[in-house]
Chain A
Amino acid sequence: ELKVEQNPLFLSMQEGKNYTIYCNYSTTSDRLYWYRQDPGKSLESLFVLLSNGAVKQEGRLMASLDTKARLSTLHITAAVHDLSATYFCAVDAVGGYQKVTFGTGTKLQVIP
C-alpha cells in the first residue's frame, strides 16, 4: 500500500523567510504532484514531477524530486502572505492514474 507523508503538518513563518516542505512516499512511483488549496476552496495544480532529479519553479515556489530517496521537496523562497494555503503532495503508484494517493497536507501560514 502506497503511503505518502508530509512534514511539517503546520508551518507558521514570517514574510521574507525561506522554508521547505517535505513529502516522503513508500513505494516506487511514476510521478509526483503538488497542489495548493486556499481555505474553503478547491485544489489547484502547482507542479508535476516526472523523473528523478526533476526541478520545477514557479515564482517563489520550487519543487524537486528524488525518486531514489522517494522524496520530494517544495521550497518557499522569501515567503509572502499570499502563499498562505494548504499544500498537498500526491503520488501515482506505478500502473495508473487511479492509484493517486495524497499526503495529509501542510498548512502554511505566512505572517506579515
Chain B
Amino acid sequence: IAGITQAPTSQILAAGRRMTLRCTQDMRHNAMYWYRQDLGLGLRLIHYSNTAGTTGKGEVPDGYSVSRANTDDFPLTLASAVPSQTSVYFCASSEAGTQYFGPGTRLTVL
C-alpha cells in the first residue's frame, strides 16, 4: 500500500511559470488537503476537499488552485509562480480526523 504519493519530489521553477503538483492516495479517503511548510510558520492550509467534486479555501489560498475530479487525485496548481511560493508542499488525506501525509514536494521559485 503506497498511501499518499506526491510528484515531483523537488522542482526549481522560474517565476511566472505554471506548475502543477500532483497528489494521489490509495486509501479511498474522502478528505484531502494541501499544506505549505515554511520555517518558523509550521504548516498552513492552502486548500482542502471534503469529497470528490468539492473544494474549499484554507488559510493561504491566493496564487493556488485545486481540483478534485475523483477520490484519489488532488492536484495543486500554481498559475504563475512567484518567489514567495518557495516552500515545501505536503498533501494529506484524512480518515476520522487523523491526517496522513505524503512525502512532500520541495519547490524553489527563482
Contact = CB atoms under 8 A, between A and B. Distances in A.
Contact of B50 (A35, A92, A98, A100): A98
A30 B56 CA distance: 20
A45 interface: yes
B69 to A, nearest CB: 19
Interface string B8-49: 000000000000000000000001010100001111110010
Interface string A10-45: 000000000000000000001101010000011111
Nearest to A31: B97
Contacts of A90: 43, 99
Q: Is the interface of A mostly helix, strand, loop or mixed?
A: strand
B90 A48 contact: no
Interface residues of A, number: 22
A-B residue pairs, 6 tightest by C-beta: A104-B42, A102-B43, A98-B48, A42-B101, A43-B101, A102-B42
Interface of B: 31, 33, 35, 40-45, 48, 50, 56, 58-59, 90, 92, 94, 96-104
